[in-house]
Structure 1
Amino acid sequence: MESGPDIDRTALIFLGTGCSGCVPDVRCLIQPSDPPCPVCSQSLSLPPHLNPNYRCNTSLLIDYYSEKDGKHSYVVIDVGKTFKEQVLRWFTFYKIPRVDSIILSHEHADAVHGLDDIRSVQPRSSTNNTDTNPVFLTQFTMDSIERRFPYLVQKKLKEGQVPRRVSRLDWRIIEEDCSKPFTASGLSFVPLPVMHGEDYVALGFLFGEKRKVAYISDVSRIPPSTEYVISKAGAGQVDLLILDTNTTQKKSSRATHICFPEALEIVKRVSPKRAFLTGMTHEYDHHVHNDMLMEWSQREGIHVQLARDGLRIPIDL
């Protein structure tokens, strides 16, 4: 799984690897500490593509290449507050022409507030009669979106009413159940219910046949039943685990995300062939923590590193 511009192959592209507030943390720039935050302060001196500490909301693009027909399909997991910036930066860089399917892990702002900007990657139409993009989400997330963004939920037009120019979306309900997979753009996904706080369920996803990828971006605790699915005893050894690591140390017993030591403990238990960590705050310095992870990887025998925005990983799914 080497990074590179291999076009006729499936690839994962990290559109964003940051927390809900993103990095840099705006407070570090408008209310600088003394000395200033070393991670956030450099964001003004380096362009984002040269700065792995510049992080948008966590999101993954699956560029799925079908060997049967030689065509690409593009599946995005989560479209948060920074989705348009991610499109401008990485769709243009990697020549991604569109989005075919959208999968939502939960209904928080950093996962869904980019839904309005989906129209920017859909074909232009004066009558707004373009094809819809399927959006896979739980009923709980659907109910939340319908309350907050009623104009995005398809409703029957009155006679003579002109359609509004909004994102054309086809809502498809999925279950919080590991035994009920769904298919998006020809690729099968197994929902991985995880706790995102004390009483809130978010979804991760397991996908791939030739190579198995487990993606868990927002989690405070993985229930044993879900961990079993991604363990060697369950689905077999996962080739790639992408896992949340919001803060460097646990802040509270009521935390909604796992921290760095907890993430590494999960990696050890699941024992994937390789792991990338995502969802980082400004507490992480990409270079410093990857040096730490290099030592940990050598000691534990599992290659782990921090992901970065724009990282592309070719992988056969």
Structure 2
Amino acid sequence: MAKGGLLENGSFSDLYSENPRSSLIFLGTGCSSSVPNAICLLQPSDPPCEVCFQSLSVPPERNPNYRCNTSLLIDYSHADGEHNYILIDVGKNFREQVLRWFTHHKIPRVDSIILTHEHADAVLGLDDIRAVQPFSPTNDIDPTPVCLTQFAMDSIAEKFPYLVQKKLKEGQEVRRVAQLDWRIIESHCEKQFITSGLQFVPLPVMHGEDYISLGFLFGEKSRVAYVSDVSRFPPSTEYVISKTGAGQLDLLILDTLYKKGAHNVHLCLPQTLDAVKRICPKRALFIGMTHEFDHHKDNEELAKWSRREGIPVQLAHDGLRIPIDL
């Protein structure tokens, strides 16, 4: 198979290097309610939901239809061979993702965190970050940097005040909690930031017409854009990641909630495929899927679309590791 195409096991071949040192690990590829959808199991339809019942009966490591909240781990290798681990979003399933995929891929820690927005499926696992930090009953450890917008910071300060406060109040006892270093970033493509040695370009997108979420562009040897929660691309953002704009992406990782129709705060498959054709990356992987998607069956259909349009696209799956040079 040609380099950069689709592999038989449903993953992409290495991107632009015979021996890539970095990699992308998909910790979660599902929607906010995850897959299986609990209501399909508690109140089964007739016939029952095939994807949800199958996803519960087959071990997740052998089951691409089992999907946790969307989250990406970047295993970034520096020129000297040192690795840093950068986590994008810490959703409701984070502890499960650690037990399943950190252990499977031998990920020892998280060096920094980036948040796309402050919704539950992106932040409610923040308390469990302590599981990937050194143990200290007195919290005497270096805090993990967390990059987020001021809007997200204000929301998280209300959700998790004990993770934000810097000093104990008089008479307040020490309790072991995740130690986090909050770093404000801006929702603007021209306001790049660096964390764990890797530069990121914020990609503001509409997540419903009343809300801005962030995607991120990163990588120099391979240009990767990660956009997990989007209903519409502002022209300025689309320009930054499009072939006819600032330059072609090597990999686009993009939201797709439902197989048919449209949704007010997410792209669905018809709009996702339209966006792929406009942006024209070298290849694309889809995330954020509901139980409407059957991984193997729908990837067969997407393979036909890929051959027709000349852009390899597939559904990603939890645990997928993509070797890549960044």
TM-score normalised by the shorter chain: which range applies? over 0.9
Deviations 1:85-138 (A, max 9, x none): 000000000100000000000000000000000001100012111110000000
| 2:146 maps to 1:135 | yes
- How many pairs does the alignment contain? 313
Shift of 1:258: 0.6
Q: Percent of aligned positions with the same letter in both sequences?
A: 70
SS in 1 for 2:90: coil
Q: State the superposition RMSD in angstroms.
A: 1.6
**8 A contact 1:82–1:114 mirrored in 2:** yes
Corresponding residue for residue 188 of structure 2: 177
| 2:105 maps to 1:94 | yes
Amino acid of the residue matched to residue 209 of structure 1?
E
Q: Matches of residues 31-180 of structure 1 in structure 2 within 5 Å?
A: 31-67=43-79, 69-158=80-169, 161-180=172-191
- The whole-number CA distance in structure 2 between the counterparts of 1:110 and 1:214 is 20
| 2:256 maps to 1:245 | yes
Runs of 4+ aligned residues of structure 1 deviating over 3 Å after TM superposition are: 158-162
- The whole-number CA distance in structure 1 between the counterparts of 2:109 and 2:20 is 17
**8 A contact 2:244–2:279 mirrored in 1:** no
Corresponding residue for residue 232 of structure 1: 243
SS in 2 for 1:282: coil
- The whole-number CA distance in structure 1 between the counterparts of 2:251 and 2:63 is 24
- The whole-number CA distance in structure 2 between the counterparts of 1:120 and 1:235 is 40
SS in 2 for 1:98: coil
Shift of 1:155: 2.1
Amino acid of the residue matched to residue 33 of structure 2?
G
The gaps in structure 1 that reach 5 residues or longer are none
Question: Please, which of 288, 292, 307 is the counterpart of residue 279 of structure 1?
Answer: 288
- The whole-number CA distance in structure 2 between the counterparts of 1:207 and 1:180 is 13
Amino acid of the residue matched to residue 149 of structure 2?
T
TM-score by length of 1: 0.96
Deviations 1:236-291 (A, max 9, x none): 11000000001112345xx1101001000000011100100000000000011100
Corresponding residue for residue 195 of structure 1: 206
SS in 2 for 1:15: strand
- The whole-number CA distance in structure 2 between the counterparts of 1:8 and 1:256 is 36
Amino acid of the residue matched to residue 56 of structure 1?
C
- The whole-number CA distance in structure 2 between the counterparts of 1:202 and 1:158 is 34
The gaps in structure 2 that reach 5 residues or longer are 1-11
Deviations 1:213-245 (A, max 9, x none): 000000000111100000124331100000000
TM-score by length of 2: 0.93
SS in 1 for 2:215: strand
Shift of 1:30: 1.0
| 2:23 maps to 1:11 | yes
**8 A contact 1:8–1:65 mirrored in 2:** no
SS in 1 for 2:194: strand
**8 A contact 2:30–2:288 mirrored in 1:** yes
Amino acid of the residue matched to residue 58 of structure 1?
T
| 2:228 maps to 1:217 | yes
Corresponding residue for residue 8 of structure 2: none
Amino acid of the residue matched to residue 321 of structure 2?
R
- The whole-number CA distance in structure 2 between the counterparts of 1:105 and 1:43 is 27
**8 A contact 1:250–1:258 mirrored in 2:** no
Corresponding residue for residue 5 of structure 2: none
- The whole-number CA distance in structure 2 between the counterparts of 1:292 and 1:12 is 24
Corresponding residue for residue 288 of structure 1: 297
SS in 1 for 2:147: strand
**8 A contact 2:56–2:66 mirrored in 1:** no
- The whole-number CA distance in structure 1 between the counterparts of 2:312 and 2:72 is 20
**8 A contact 1:245–1:278 mirrored in 2:** yes
- The whole-number CA distance in structure 2 between the counterparts of 1:32 and 1:160 is 52
Amino acid of the residue matched to residue 27 of structure 1?
I
Corresponding residue for residue 304 of structure 1: 313
**8 A contact 2:70–2:288 mirrored in 1:** yes
Amino acid of the residue matched to residue 312 of structure 1?
R
